[in-house]
Structure 1
Amino acid sequence: MYIPDTYDPSQVKTILLANSFSSWGVELGPKVFEECPVNACTLSTNWKQNETADAILFRDTINHSHNRQPSQNKQIWIIYELESAVHSYLTGFDSRKREQINWTATYRVDSDIVTPYEKWVYYDERHKTDVKNREVNFAAGKTRQVAWFVSNCNAPNNRLQYAKELQKYIPVDIYGGCGPLTCPRSSKCFDLLNKDYRFYLSFENSNCKDYITEKLFANGLSHNVLPIVMGAPKSDYLHSAPVNSFIHVDDFSSPKQLAQYLHHLNENDTAYNEYFQWKGTGEFINTFFWCRLCTMVHDGGSAVVGKYTDVSRWWHEGACEKGASVFTTCVERPY
């Protein structure tokens, strides 16, 4: 990891956490930085330090009491966001506050601190398939077709409508609040995927660039099931996931056409197994957000006030598609 030339371990940087501390899931003080190459940082929630802290990390919002004072011009203000632009509004950003953010820390690849849900890394970029997988039939013993675990039935990208249209042409078992089937929130649900199902709907709740969550990584790719994805453009998935590890709904003109392809894979284990040749060629790694944050604060020369003339516009403009684009029979819903 990069270590700034000017790094001085005796100069401890204070990073002030604004908003609700409980949502961060970390201990206050220096503990989260202890194993970092650059570790001279400490976390605080004491707002009395708002003018002396080296950086302030805002989650989702800046409330009306947060106003940068002239004495804070060298302080780094960072907005952190992991929800999609459809479900997060960066509230509290009046026209003046929109100019006060120095850095963004989000899942988007154009953020200052890119914070993905997961990051896939190959052990060797020259080898993106594993010949040992040729000996494994990932379809063996599987008697069910498509599964989906879902609780939000009103996602603005109309994913539920898509799934119900898909059900007309291939069995789709919907577990949770949006379907008739139940499964406890435990490993037993994923045991069911591994044992019985060939496909899983890794549908995001909104179609926004770079927005790829645990629905793909934890629910799909971590198990012996083939994820069918909806959300970010396919090019973003190609950047984030192993080669040939998913099916994207955008490759099909309708749920009916997708179902036809799934039936083809059901009848051809060789073609189905091609989607699992990436297994064993790499791993999902920790991207060490807190370590990178500490390093950047120590190297804070790029923290320029006014870099974002309107961070809310940067976050929302052109970031998401409306759900009606998914397939023509969807009813468009407003954001």
Structure 2
Amino acid sequence: MSTPAAPALSVLDLVPVRADQGTTEALAATRALAQVADDHGYRRYWLAEHHNMPSIASTNPPVIAAMIAAATERIRVGSGGVMLPNHAPLVVAEQFALLEAAFPGRVDLGLGRAPGTDPVTAWALRHGGGGVEADAAERFPEHVDTVLAMMSPDGVGVQLTTGQHVLRATPQAASVPTVWLLGSSDFSARLAASRGLPYVFAHHFSGRGTAEALALYREGYQPSAEHPEPRTFLTVNVVVADTEEEAQRLVQPMVRSMVALRTGQPLLPQALVEDAEAAPVAAAHQPLVDDMAARWVVGDPQQAAGRIRDLASTFGVDEVMVSPVAGATAGTPTDRSPAREATLRLLADALAA
């Protein structure tokens, strides 16, 4: 039996903050992780948008993407994604048009519809400073179209009482970022198909409905000039170590964080491995842990490479975006994430073998 072809690899980074780190150290660790991805042939490096969470520093994807692009040589950088209802479309268009101008041909703009935070923080983002209107989530399709138009070289015409005004995200755009729609339901799948845009289902977060969402997207796809064929890939949480036993140890801090998130417990900076091991999961929450374990890729290099190949084959994709969620042990340098770096190196080497 032939081995399935190795898919291309990419990275999704939430910029985790450990209990032994400040934001400065977490960002330094992310920069080093991106350089490992760049050196090992990963295709793209995306930053998520989350707010007011003690364990996640990726509050501003375009700012961190600029840092990553400046610290790397060839890998594509972008958002996974910008939560568009939190922002005025022109601001998003300007940010990513500038990124594309600074790093032409290397920028992706992933757009999502969820708030990426709690309701109070969402209010502060959208209205506390007189920002985006209350129905922004419902107007997501319109705002996607607006961002696309504003980033184009011709801009978009706005009719006001004073006449027709043209808005452009940047004065002389020579190229535009690739726009992707992201989602964890069929809404964005249908929208991406209708607009002829690339699409990614949040398999790493949801894990359910992936096949159905991808089928809706592919079956309803309307070709566009930029994308004559549907484009999609898979996202998955991954921990790879020299042995399966070590990988299972390293995943425990992320397991504790996800259990807290899913069960309404206080969210804290990510625990070190030893502290996570000393705090067993309550028996009532074990089914949740088992469900997550079935969807994550945790193991030695050969096991992980086999799972990645199988996932790519099952969902018919030629690219897998991994979220490296390995924790850190006591004494780890605070400005590095060695276990996350090892995950990227070991996985890339195993798939290339």
TM-score by length of 2: 0.28
Question: Which structure's residues are more often helix, by fraction?
Answer: 2
- Of structures 1 and 2, the larger Rg is shown by 1
